[in-house]
Structure 1
Amino acid sequence: MSDAFLYRVKAAQRDLIERCAGIERAVSITGFSKSQVGRWNNPNDPDLMPIGAVRALEADCCQPLITAVMAEAAGRRLTDPEAERQSDVNVLAAHAEVMRLSGELANSVAVAIADGHFSPTEATAVDRVAANLERAMSDLRAMAAVVKARGGATASLRVVSGAEG
């Protein structure tokens, strides 16, 4: 296994614990000790979650974060069974969120490398923003797939002109 893959899994573990309302709640969901869940949450600790804990936490927050990383490592992607709900997302709002997070990511990287050194702590901060951007991009792509499947949709966009007449 490559270090990059392990870092992705560790980041997914942290995100999964966060989306399940933190370490204490992850303890109650998985039945593992607080210290063990803390090791899973620590990016510098090599401990990885067992499959049973992954399934329990992913089921709780309804987001297959670690499963998606595993699929990507095998050259696959997961499909969203709730893609239908994405068709109701406002195109402009989804695009705005992607653009906002893109700017936030650019800023995070710029701050991280400003002193000429990219520390592990800075990499963790950048990864958190990148994870949020990845989620926003996934939502936008799922919405676009539904629109394509339906043959188009109303964009709720109006052109405003200063000319009367």
Structure 2
Amino acid sequence: MDAFIYRVKAAQRDLIERCGGIRRAEEITGFSKSQVGRWNSPNDPDLMPIGVIASLERDCGQALVTSVMAETNGRRLSDPEIERAQDVCLLRNHAELMRQSAELAHTIAGVVADGQVTPSEAASVDRVAAELERAASDLRASIAVIKSRGGQASGLRVVGGEG
């Protein structure tokens, strides 16, 4: 259960960040700065009410906390904007996934270098892992579109080649 709470807390922090930070989340939700700060703190046990989650997710267009809840029960959310993925470049998504993977490896190497992982260091690894997760999701969305179309011709061409 602790891992689940840590994931929800991380999703809450990401949600607040994607909505523009504590001040903006305060405006959206109508809750005080200190309450929003408690939701944003990895060391505070306060969890957002469902209505707040819905408001913030609607504002930023990303179901971050709801996705964690669904995954905990063995479910995945479908993306209502799957059409946006039609314009997503497979190679760009792959490159971003590889960049995020390298960033995660770099972050973890720095964190474990002294043989001790602090809660703050764990939080920084989690933030990078969340970005890696998003990059993987974007790649999977572009693959899903290609599969739904029955395949897709590659846009790659040999430079200087004929035809």
What range is the shorter-chain TM-score in? over 0.9
Corresponding residue for residue 3 of structure 2: 4
Q: 1:118 and 2:110 equivalent?
A: no
Q: CA RMSD in A?
A: 1.3
Residue 159 (1) aligns with residue 132 (2): no
Question: 1:27-46 residue pairs with structure 2 within 5 A?
Answer: 27-46=26-45
Question: Residue in 1 aligned with 2:87?
Answer: 88
* TM-score, length-scaled by structure 2: 0.96
Alignment-mate amino acid for residue 59 of structure 2: D
Which residue identity is paired with 2:29?
T
Within 1, Cα distance between the matches of 2:154 and 2:37? 45
Give the CA deviation at 1:142.
Answer: 0.8
After TM superposition, the structure 1 = structure 2 runs for residues 131-142 of structure 1, keeping only pairs within 5 Å, are 131-142=130-141
Using the TM superposition, give the Cα deviation of residue 159 of structure 1 relative to its aligned residue in structure 2, in angstroms: 3.2
Report SS of the residue matched to 1:157: coil
One-letter amino acid matched to 2:146: V
Shift of 1:153: 1.6
Q: Match of 1:104?
A: 103
1:73 aligns with 2:72: yes
Aligned residues: 162
Unaligned runs of 5+ in 2: none
State the 4+ residue runs in structure 1 displaced beyond 6 angstroms.
none
How far 1:160 sits from its partner (Å)? Answer: 4.2
What's the offset of the Cα at 1:118? Answer: 1.1
1:154 is displaced (CA, Å) by 2.7
Q: Give the structure-1-normalised TM-score.
A: 0.95
- Cα distance between partner residues in 2 of 1:85 and 1:109: 33
In the aligned structure 2, how far is the partner of 1:130 from the partner of 1:83?
23
Q: What is the distance in 2 between the residues matched to 1:80 and 1:154?
A: 24
Taking the aligned partners of 1:131 and 1:155, their CA distance within structure 2 comes to 29
Q: Distance in 2 between matches of 1:73 and 1:118?
A: 25
The answer as to whether partners of 1:91 and 1:155 remain within 8 angstroms in 2 is: no
3-state DSSP of counterpart to 1:76: coil
Give the AA of the match of 2:81: E
